[in-house]
Structure formats: C-alpha cells, structure tokens
Structure 1
Amino acid sequence: MGLFLLWLLFGIGIVIQGVYLLVIFGRTAWFKSSSKSHSSENSPEGVTVLVAAHNEFQNLKTLIPKLFEQDYPKYDVMIVNDRSTDRTKRLLEEMMEKYPRLRSVTVKYTPNHVTAKKFALTLGIKVAKNDVILLTDADCIPSSDQWIRKMTAPVREEGKTFSIGFSGYQEKSGILNRWIQFETLLTALFYLSFGLWKAPFMGVGRNLCYRKSFFMEAKAFKGFWHLEGGDDDLFVNTYATGKNTGMVIDPEATTTSIPKETWKEYLVQKKRHLHAGKYYRGEDKQKIGLYSLSHALFWIGGIGLLFYFGFGKQWEHFLAVCGIIVLRSLLIWSIFRSASVKTQGNAVSSNAPVNDFFYLVYFWVLGTVSHQAKDIKWK
C-alpha cells in the first residue's frame, strides 16, 4: 500500500508538472514575437512615466537621466515624492531645471485609511498629463531606449487597457542572487504564460502600463486601499482579462532592478509580495496552488521511491525514478534558460534545477508565514 501511494503521488506530480512546464510555461520559453513592427510615426500618443519614490535620492539620481534617453517623441516623467526626508526634493528641483519634461508632486502625509504607496500612485496618476501611464520603480533601469515605445504599444496601438512586461534583477555573484534570479523568472513564467494564454492574473509594478481613464473609472484601488502591496498585482488581478491585456516579451522592453543584498531584506520583500496573493481571485490562486501542489507531490513521491528502492536494492526501479527526476531537471533547465533569453536577451545564471528543489520549502514555509502576516509595510 505504501509503495502504491508513493507511485500515485509521483505519477500525479509528473502529469501535472508536465502540463505546466510544456504547455503553459512553454508559451513564454518558446515565445515567437509577432512580425508586426511597432508604429514609428512622429506624433504617437503621449505617455507619462510614473515613479513613486520614498527616500530614493541615490536611485533617482541614476534613473532620471536614463529615462530621458528614451527614443520616444512624446512623453513626460512624473516623480511622486512620497514623504521623503533625504535630498530627494532638492534633487528633483535641480533635475527639473535640466529636463523640462520632468514633473514632480509631493506627498506630505498619508491618510489613515489608505496605504502609502497606493496613495502616492493615485496622486501621481490624477495629475498625470497623459492617458497612457507607464509605471516603474526608483531602483529600476530600462533595458533600452525602446522601453517606452515597446511597453506601451499594446495600449496605444492595439486598444488594450493593460500592458504587462518583465522586470528582472541585476545579476551578481552569490547564492542569494541566483535564488532571486530563479524565483523572479519562475514568477514571470506564471504571469507571462497565463497572460499569453488569455488568462492574465498579475503583473509587476516595476514594468506595467495602463490607461489613466480606466484607473479613474475603476475608482483607483477601491477594495484594497488598506492592503500593503497589491498596487500592481491586485489591480491587474481585479481588472485584467484576456481581451483587454497585452503581454510584452522583448529584451528591449524590460527593466532591471537592484537586488537585495541580504537574506533578511529579501525575505521581508517577498513576504510583502506573497501576502497580496491571498487576495487573488479563487481561480487564480488555483493556478499557482496546483503547480506548487504537484511540485510537492513530485518531489515527495520521488524521494520516497528512491529511499524505498534504494533500501530494497531494487536498482532497476531506483534508476528509473532517477531517470525521470533527471529528465525533469533537464526540462527545467531548458525552459528557464530559454525564458531568460526571451525576456532578458541572455541566459541569466539561476541554478534552476537545484533551486527548483529548494522551492519546495520556500513556497510552503514562506507562503504560509506571508499568508498569516499582519506587519506588512512598504517603507
């Protein structure tokens, strides 16, 4: 009975994982871009690049000049100075003299009934000059001077309400950075692949575009003002559909952020991100939950069978299970490598097969802690 149960768990895990890896994640890993070129007319629709910043002096000093290197004829940049106590205000005053299309609005306090970042973003969107809003964070850098043109194309040219892109992290040495690369790409495989399957359920605020008119019509973040986080994924989860959302998979349309340097900082960040997940629609929770459950079944069943056949010296069965695990690891490696090239232009080192095993602990432990957490904060 015990052997049958192990085979059952292992078999269910193999089948469901195969569907996710080949059918769903394969949409991103083996994505073929459309031959349609984006319009390059001299008078396209205007775009406002929006950044909410709290004590981001150093990052803004780097970001603002980069934003004004964009090859797009009609755009401005709005920086929301959210209660900063560093030199952000002085920097913005100096930068606005240098860059006429740079604008700023200051948040002096946050009302008690709303969370800081949502209030800052709402204020910035309300005063934005253009209807097309392109969001990023202060610690992000566009991957090319085509970022605005390509990220906003589905909204400007195809009549979409949302445009969702990839945002990665700088590649550095060390175990933490390789884990960050792995987890970031796995998350992207979820939201990009389901988006390509006309079932979008999240996006990242580091690289997200939507219309101001829709935002105002939806009454901003109505229903989750009180939640830390969710200004990106919950907003998309609530309103994005297969018809009104476009996915942008292009190395020139990404942004790159500064990764956390310590495990403590990283876990605090991820706890905030995962906490928002419990407010997703039921069917969207199932998309992630079914993958994670089948992932656990695969590893629990597989390891159990290895111990059973190893102790019983049934080497043919032992090698058969090993072979299946190795084949899946090779598939994981191939998908992550290909998806990295599609989204970032190069194969970022992530130790995908190894980190795939440790994801078992990461998801179930940190996910449970994040689900129950009450001390979530932005800054």
Structure 2
Amino acid sequence: MGLFLLWFIFGVGILIQVVYLLLIFGRTSFSKPTKAHSDPQKEEGVTVLIAAHNEFQNLKTLIPKLFEQDYPKYDVMIVNDRSTDRTKRLLEEMMAIYPRLRSVTIKYTPNHVTAKKFAMTLGIKVCKNDVVLLTDADCIPNSDQWIRKMTAPVRQNDKTFSLGYSGYEKSSGFLNSWIQFETLLTALYYISFSLWKAPFMGIGRNLCYRKSFFMEVKAFKGLWHIEGGDDDLFVNQYATGKNTAVVLDPDANTTSKPKTTFKEYLVQKKRHLHAGKYYRGEDKQKIGFFSLSHALFWLGGLGLLIYFGIDQSWEQFLIVFGIILLRSVIVVSVFASASKKIQGTKAAKNVWMLDFLYLGYFWVLGTISHQAKDIQWK
C-alpha cells in the first residue's frame, strides 16, 4: 500500500508538471513572440508614473535615463510620498532641467488607506495623459524604446492592460541566483497564462493602462486596507483574455536593483506573496496546482528512491532516477529558452538545484506571508 501511494503521488506530480512545463510555460519558452510595430498615427501622449519614498539616490540616476526615451509625446510624474531625505530638493532641481518632469508631494497618508495605493491614486489623478506607464524608482528602462513598446498595445490595439517584465541586476552569490530564478518563474506564470488568454497578475515595475479606466472602475475599491497589491490585485480584478496583452521584448523591459541580504529579500517577498491570498479562487489555483504538483513530484520521487534503495531494487531505482533527471533537463531547457526570450540573457546557473529548493521556499514563505499582519510598503 505504501509503495502504491508513493507511485500515485509521483505519477500525479509528473502529469501536472508536464502540463505546466511543456504546454503552459512552453507557450512563453518555445513560441515566437509577436513584437509590437509602432504606428506613427497613434503616438498619443504617455505619462510615466513613479511613487517614491526616500528614493533620492535612485531618482538621481533614473530621471536622466527616462528623458533619453525615443518617444515624441510623454512626461514624467513622480509622487514624492512623505520623503524625509533630499528627494524634494532633487525634484525641484531636476524640474528646472527637464520641463516634462512634474511632481506632487504627499505629506501624510489617511488612516483608512495604505501608503502605496494612496500615492498611486493621487499620482494617477494628476497625470496629464490618459496612457499611464508605471515603474519604480529603482528601475531602469532597458532601452530608449521602452515607452514606445510597452504602451503600444494600449495605444494601438485598444487593450486595457499591457504587461511587461522587470528583471534584476545580475551579480555573484547564491542570493542573486535565487532572485534571478524566482523572478523568471514568476514571469513564466503571469506571461504564460496571459498568452493563453487567462491573465491573472502584473507587476508595477513595468505596467501600462489607461487613467480613464482606472478612474472609471475606482481601481482600489475594496483593496485600500491591503498593503501591496496596487499592481497585481488591480490586474487580477479586471484583466481578461480580450483586454490584456503581454509585451515580450527585452527592449521593453526594466531592470531593478536586487536585495543584497536575505533579510531584505524575505521582507520584500513576504509583501508580494501576501497579496496573493486576495486573488480570485481560480487564479490561486494557477499557482497552487504547479506548486502542489512540484511538491508531489519531489516527495514521491525521493520516497521511491529511498524505498528502492533500501530494497536494493536497482532497476526500479534507475527508472525513478531517470524520470527525475528527464524532468530536470526539461526544467533547465524551459528556463533557458524563457530567459533568452524574455530577458535576452542566459538563465540563472544551477536551475535544477534552485528548482529543488523551491520546494521549501514556496510552502514555508508562502504560509508565513499568508498569515502575516505586519506587511508594510516603506
């Protein structure tokens, strides 16, 4: 009975993993992306929106980069959210240099709302243009075509949401390798399901939508009490297969600065994962089925290896080991192809090992994040 249960667990894990890795993630990894073509007749105005709290150093680098964009009609709105550093002085100096830079300052946040959502709402209300392109203060566009390509689905194809990718700077060390792996896996989730016409999230570091739609639906209605989720929960509520497009182009990406300590990283991820518990039920299942099958595969596989090893049934041992090895090859292939297509770079090293470690990461940190009550933006 014990052996049958192990085979059953292992088998179910294999079947679901094959569906995800080859059919769902494969939509991103192995299909040819359709790159946006610019239409000069639809180059309407765009506002780049950034909410910043004590981001003096990052803004000092970012602002000049934003005004290198090759797009004729855009401005930049920075919401200075209760900053106590030199952000206000910097913005005043930069606005004298860049006429299309604008800012609004928030001195306090009302008690009934969360800081980031209040800052984003105020910023969107004062945006000059209807097309709004969001990013963060610590992000840098990958090319001078970022605005043009990220906003194209909204401007040219009448989409409500345009979902982009934002990676992290690469450096040495295990933490950075893990960040690269986990970020790419997250992208495989939301990009692949969007390509299957079933979008469920986006990321605020690279996201575009219309101000008029945001105001019409009162975007954060019912979400004010949730710290975080100003990006993925908004998309989760209103994105559909018809109104959402993915921009799969390295030139349309942004790159962020990664956390350099495990403590900082865990605080960040706890906030990100916490918002996930407010997703719609069917969208929780999109992540849940992969994570559950991932656990079933490894627990069943390792259980069988131990069983056959003790029993010295080496033929069965090699069969199970071969299946595990084959899946690892598929995982490495999927991630390598996805990284090349999404980022234009190689995937993180030791993907097979990082994939195994994900077994503990998702279930431990996910449980902690789901129950957390001390989530904060900044």
* Aligned residues of 1:31 and 1:342 also touching (Cα < 8 A): no
Name the counterpart of 1:246. 245
Q: Does 1:9 align with 2:9?
A: yes
Name the counterpart of 1:110. 109
* Aligned residues of 1:205 and 1:231 also touching (Cα < 8 A): yes
Shift of 1:340: 0.7
Q: Give distance in 1, aligned partners of 2:232 and 2:26.
A: 22
Q: Give distance in 2, aligned partners of 1:332 and 1:167.
A: 21
The residue matched to 2:316 in structure 1 has which SS? helix
Please give the residue correspondences for 1:126-275 in structure 2 after superposition, counting only pairs within 5 Å. Answer: 126-275=125-274
* Aligned residues of 1:171 and 1:348 also touching (Cα < 8 A): no
Any idea what the Cα deviations from partners look like across 1:259-307, whole Å, max 9, x if unmatched? Answer: 0000000000000000000000000001111111100000000000000
Any idea what the Cα deviations from partners look like across 1:23-81, whole Å, max 9, x if unmatched? Answer: 0000111231226622245x711000000000000000000000001000000000000
Please give the residue correspondences for 1:1-379 in structure 2 after superposition, counting only pairs within 5 Å. Answer: 1-34=1-34, 37-41=37-41, 44-379=43-378
Q: Give distance in 2, aligned partners of 1:3 and 1:276.
A: 39
Read off the aligned partner of 2:4 and give its amino acid letter: F
Q: Give distance in 2, aligned partners of 1:31 and 1:147.
A: 22
* Aligned residues of 1:192 and 1:247 also touching (Cα < 8 A): yes
The residue matched to 2:277 in structure 1 has which SS? helix
* Aligned residues of 2:34 and 2:248 also touching (Cα < 8 A): no
Any idea what the Cα deviations from partners look like across 1:79-135, whole Å, max 9, x if unmatched? Answer: 000000000000000100110100000001100000001000100000000000000
Q: Give distance in 1, aligned partners of 2:12 and 2:201.
A: 27
TM-score of the two chains, using structure 1 as the length reference? 0.98
Any idea what the Cα deviations from partners look like across 1:183-219, whole Å, max 9, x if unmatched? Answer: 0000000000000000000000000000000000011
Shift of 1:352: 1.4
In the superposition, relative to structure 1, how do residues 36 and 215 fare at CA in structure 2: closer, same or farther (>3 Å)? closer
Q: Give distance in 2, aligned partners of 1:351 and 1:229.
A: 31
Read off the aligned partner of 1:246 and give its amino acid letter: A
Shift of 1:378: 0.2
Shift of 1:220: 2.8
In structure 2, stretches of 5+ residues that fail to align are none
Farther-moved stretch of structure 1 (334-343 vs 53-62):
334-343
* Aligned residues of 1:170 and 1:259 also touching (Cα < 8 A): yes
The residue matched to 2:152 in structure 1 has which SS? helix
Q: Give distance in 1, aligned partners of 2:368 and 2:272.
A: 12
Any idea what the Cα deviations from partners look like across 1:317-362, whole Å, max 9, x if unmatched? Answer: 1111111111110111111111111111111324211111110100
Read off the aligned partner of 1:7 and give its amino acid letter: W
The residue matched to 1:76 in structure 2 has which SS? strand
Q: Report the number of matched residues.
A: 378
* Aligned residues of 2:95 and 2:101 also touching (Cα < 8 A): yes
Any idea what the Cα deviations from partners look like across 1:126-177, whole Å, max 9, x if unmatched? Answer: 0000000000000000000000000000000000000001110000100000
Q: Give distance in 2, aligned partners of 1:48 and 1:301.
A: 51
* Aligned residues of 2:36 and 2:247 also touching (Cα < 8 A): no
Q: Give distance in 2, aligned partners of 1:229 and 1:348.
A: 28
* Aligned residues of 1:13 and 1:296 also touching (Cα < 8 A): yes
* Aligned residues of 1:249 and 1:342 also touching (Cα < 8 A): yes
Q: Give distance in 2, aligned partners of 1:132 and 1:101.
A: 15
* Aligned residues of 2:35 and 2:247 also touching (Cα < 8 A): no
Q: Give distance in 2, aligned partners of 1:65 and 1:335.
A: 36
Q: Give distance in 1, aligned partners of 2:34 and 2:245.
A: 12
Q: Give distance in 2, aligned partners of 1:247 and 1:120.
A: 26
In structure 1, stretches of 5+ residues that fail to align are none
Identity %: 77
Shift of 1:21: 0.3
The residue matched to 1:25 in structure 2 has which SS? helix
Q: Give distance in 2, aligned partners of 1:24 and 1:213.
A: 33
TM-score of the two chains, using structure 2 as the length reference? 0.99
Read off the aligned partner of 1:144 and give its amino acid letter: S
The residue matched to 2:69 in structure 1 has which SS? coil
Read off the aligned partner of 1:293 and give its amino acid letter: L
In the superposition, relative to structure 1, how do residues 157 and 329 fare at CA in structure 2: closer, same or farther (>3 Å)? same
The residue matched to 1:80 in structure 2 has which SS? strand
